Structure 1
Amino acid sequence: MGNIDISVVVAGAGQAAASLAFRLRENGHRGPIHLVGREAWPPYQRPPLSKKYLVGELERERLFLKARELYAAHDIRLLLGHEVTRIDRATGTVAITGPDVSGLRYDALVIATGGTPRLPAGTSVSSGNIFTLRGIDDADRMRDALVPGRRLLVIGGGYVGLELAAVARKRGLEVVLVEQAERILFRVACAATADYFRALHRDHGVEIIEGAGVAALEGAADRPAVAMLTDGRRIAFDFAVFGIGIVANDGLAREAGLACDGGVLIDATGRTEDPAIFAAGDCARFPFDGQMVRLESVPNAVAQGEHIADELVHRTSRPYAPLPWFWSDQYDCKLQIAGLNMGHTAVLRRDGTKPGMRAHWYFRGDDLIACDTMNDPRSFMLAKRWLANMKLPTAEMLADPAFNAAAF
């Protein structure tokens, strides 16, 4: 067993940080644990921000992963409204901003700093009607803009952009969604899945423009009102939301001399090149299926945080080998994804027993690697089970309507 009395500092106070801290205590760790987070809130769920919380159907406290008093009960120190600004690897200390704390000593440091929403150069959310959605404060600020009849411009056709479009339409707003790539979901899903969601949104009245980006925002500096697109079109709007992905917050690691490349680079155990420093969650890139990947998902943040906690206490050097899975709620459709579709060469469609129920199965050569399911939880659970056990049906099996998936 590892040293259960070591001092653990986590730079970040999100899902990965909370999962790591409580798993350490479950594993019998007795040393000090500090979670340092720049926001005022204890670790919380982010997925509801673009859905129920945004429209006031979920109270703020219900976002919190654990009640505040549980951190004190487990002797986990929350330093909220603080930020780790510098790592001194030679002395094993970190510098921290904020009142009453000047720095902390660590035996193990975990970088779990998440990511920052991308914005085009020269664009700022300081404008009164330009938004991004990453945290509680963003959602609180955006909520007042969701007034029926107003015109929303969503820039970005990924999951966050599509979820925001769905929420806005359900609230009675006009919505125009602009995607610079040739189609929505270009980087994350096959064309068939994109076709499904394009039709779903257009059926609900969303105007979708693909293959055109935003070249400029025109109007008052503090409240632009027109977007000039790269194809020459001009789109008037009352407010706009950028949902074009996030940039990994790896600056802290870079300044400490740690290897970074679109995220903090870690090995299969979660370690950086410094054996005392780990990384987890949205900011970390790790080896998976022969590539270095960065997974922006709640399940990954939880599993990676817990894996590092196990490594710190038990020192197993067990490689982190997750089964990636994701979800997205849009209107009355639940999209659930199992696996990663990187490098797929074919997609097989299999319809369910009810209208709108569908699964898209991804193959790389002869191997099943991922599945998108729309309102088809049974296929999602089968996909997770098959991918976890590596007992994989062939494309010929799945193409056969008589194939008994449950018995396979």
Structure 2
Amino acid sequence: MGGQLCGALNMSVFALIDCNAFYCSCERICQPALKQMPVVVVSNNDGCIIARTREAKALGIPMGAPYFKVRDQLAAAGVAVRSSNYTLYADISNRVMRTIAELVPAIEVYSVDECWADLTGIVDLAGLGVQIRTRLLRDVGMPVGVGISTTKTLAKLANWAAKKWPATGGVVDLTASARQAKLLRIAPLNEVWGIGRRLAPQLQALGMSTAWDLAQYDIATLRKTFGVTLERTARELRGESCLQMSEGPPPKQAICSSKMFGHRLYELAPIREALATYVTRAAEKLRSQASLCGAIQVGLRTQAHNLHLPRYANALSVALHSPTDDTRDILAPALRALEAIYRPGFAYSKCSILLTDLSRRGEMTMDLFASAPRPGSERLMAVVDAINKREGRGTVRLGRVPVAPAWAMRREMKSQCYTTRWDEVIGVRG
């Protein structure tokens, strides 16, 4: 009934489609044996738990727990542990988003594991939600929750309900005002989109404990005390749509690539290799949003928390002769900056590259006195990106970028890529 009314009045309707325990679900898609086991995924260098299946949560394993502290507990409970495999996750995310885009009028990717869909004018909203869930399970193997309502904030809350109560079948249509009021009265305040751990205690001190309390609070007081963002959240909970669909995220104003080394490095040579790898990745991101880089910052540091080793941290910013997206023209000054801040005798744990002063290609006037771009640079980078996208990252790379560096992150429990490398593709035995 709610869907029919919405279609008749042509009011805005949003859906939030969110993958369940995304990283763990990606592992299960490619390793069916894991579907019968609790699963967790740990962060870079096998540091902390960053994803848990429902079964793992039931065992009391907390999010963010350092892996070394819960290793024995996980082993005793028969929990499967996997190192983060971001190449696999990105590929499955693309498959999920492409499938959703085939089923809805418009899509806005919100993060690697969730997106908004514009369902304005759709009559059978719950039926479409079920269709989305069914297609994603059949074609990709990904379980999702679908929350539908007349504002983005309410759709987010509906998605929470779809995941919390299995009886919903993973789809909640919250377009009817009576159903909205019912859910708002039982939804905790911290389940409202945008209410974080810092803001929630402040609101609770004012007597608010549920989403309903926030929706009914005086709007003028919210704006004066907390600003326009919280006012907008309260209006959305009341059913007033303040956030519309966008075609995509705005281009980034800065791009950073930085990872902890798998072990501490003392010599300059392997740090050069690491920096070349990070510059390559940052330049790929730069080209993907059709931007040019006008300046860079190179950083180098030791581990901050180890009091038994000498500590050192430094960074150097460099303006480029002219804006560029050519990996070679970014790497050369980056390596010179690294050599300038490197000091022997320290155990380095991390280096970074930050691309700044970004501009959109074709939207700026080039300096008449700057060096001319390399002939064929734009075309060459486009070919390199196309090959790496088709054949796998690193197929074509600069000579300074190693294939299997000794300094790479520790990922001792990493699964295969399965979907992005020919030599690791899933095999079926007869």
TM-score normalised over the length of structure 1: 0.26
Higher helix proportion (structure 1 or 2): 2
Q: TM-score, normalised by structure 2?
A: 0.25
Structure of greater Rg: 2
More strand per residue: 1
